[in-house]
Amino acid sequence: MKLHWQIAIALLAAMAVGGIVGDAPWFIKLADFIGTLFLNALRMLIVPLIVGAMIHAIISIGASNELGRIGWKTVLYFATTTLGAIVLGLVIINAVQPGIVDGQPAGARLGLDASADAVLEKVQGRDGRDFVGVVLRMVPPNLVQAAADNEMLALIFFSLLFGYFAARLPRELAEVQQRFWAGLYEVMIRITGWVMRFAPLGVFALVGKTVAQTGWSALHPLLVFFFAVLVALSIQAFIVLPLLVRLVGLDPLRHLKLSVPALLTAFSTSSSAATLPVTFGCAQRAGVSDRVSGFVLPLGATVNMNGTALYECAAALFIAQAYGLELSFISQFVVVTLALLTSVGVAGIPSASLVAIAVILSAVGLPMEGVGLILAVDRILDMCRTAVNVFGDLTGTVIIARLEGEIEAPASDVTR
């Protein structure tokens, strides 16, 4: 049986078993052990993979001015799709108004799930800092420390510099560098393939534990918000991004099929960073060259988060509605801008956007405890938005590869 089918079955089984077993300590313990083992195995690949893929890509792009061209396309794609996703969240939440129940702000009915302190403690260290902080983090005072702290932007920046200068070495030395980094990248991809053989087990454990602990009942009071976000995320994933794929003359359905392993892994791990090794495999199977995927994917997993940006905007508006606050046009504009900027700084780890949401809330004058309102649904929506984040990265990679003339469209797929 194909791996993605095995993972899909594991996912369904986990939802059923997690729901039936409930939070029985033996199940939580066992699921926690297996899930953590799988997650660790993926995480251990992140640093060598980002550095290896990025340096390998930059050296292959070489000393030509191709880097600038691919770079601009990447930035343009990231910015427009993220902005589009935010506007989608804005429109849907304004239309559905999930924070208003029977004409009244829903805040009192929902009750705050947590005090400000508890919320802040939960979200501590999730990296939603301001834009200046993001730029500062890009240049690490200590590279080893940055790697240990999973500071992706710092690793990307260093790898860019390393690749740029390695490509400009005298030919003999440059060739040695090129072969070394190509080999390292290939080894990482192979280890990923091996780790992924255990994915059905890992996915079962991770999702089973979440369902057992959160339960579906947590959704009830927030059902409208939950579905509004789900609809917005689905429009982004199943209409907007596929349209872009179509626009460059490729088959969106085939693209979706090839992306399934990465989407399922993102859904199960809630972490675009941990999914990165799998994302690389999908890009490779889609026919994207190492030089494009090595450049676009690590950047994408770190700064391009369609789902997260959409969610941040939706959550901030929902909380405002629940508090009975009518946001002015200017305030909505601030929400959109901050969602765009903070989604760049949010780390690709579970629940990372909670801090960013707190930042947005305080910017428009709402109490930070508002984050407590959405905690109950955050875990499950995290799974969904992370899948959209990863799909946005993969779609961008495929589009840029196509624009670079790398992927041949099947004859029947060429748009005329």
SS3 100: strand
Q: What is the chain's percent helix, strand, coil content, to nearest 5? A: 80, 0, 20
**C-beta of 358: minimal distance to ligand ASP in Å?**
12
Which is nearer to ligand ASP, 151 or 290 (by Cβ)?
151
Task: State which residue, 250 or 274, has the beta carbon closest to ligand ASP.
Answer: 274
Nearest to ligand ASP of 268, 321 (CB atom): 268
Least CB distance from residue 346 to ligand ASP, whole Å? 5
Beta carbon nearer to ligand ASP, 177 or 293: 293
355 vs 368: CA distance, rounded Å:
9
Between 41 and 355, CB nearer to ligand ASP: 355
Question: Among residues 203 and 250, whose Cβ is nearest to ligand ASP?
Answer: 203
Residue type at 162 in one-letter notation: F
CA separation for the pair 170, 177 (Å, rounded): 11
What does the binding site for ligand ASP look like in residue numbers (CB under 6 A)? Answer: 270-272, 305, 308, 346, 348-353, 382, 385-386, 389
Cβ 378 to ligand ASP shortest distance, Å: 8
Please state, in angstroms and as integers, the Cα–Cα distance from residue 99 to each residue in 52, 223, 330, 375, following that order.
Answer: 46, 11, 20, 15
Give the DSSP per-residue string, 101-129: ETTEESHHHH--SS-HHHHHHHHTTS---
DSSP letter at 219 equals G
Cβ at position 136, least distance to ligand ASP in Å: 21
Shortest spacing between CB 356 and ligand ASP, in angstroms = 8
Give me 310's structure tokens.
């959409």
Residue 331 Cβ vs ligand ASP, minimum distance, rounded to whole Å: 22
* 385/402 with CB nearer ligand ASP: 385
Rounded Cα distance between 343 and 345, Å, is 5
User: What minimum distance in Å lies between the beta carbon of 350 and ligand ASP?
Assistant: 5
Write the Ramachandran bin of 271: left for phi over 0, alpha for psi from -120 to 50, otherwise beta.
beta
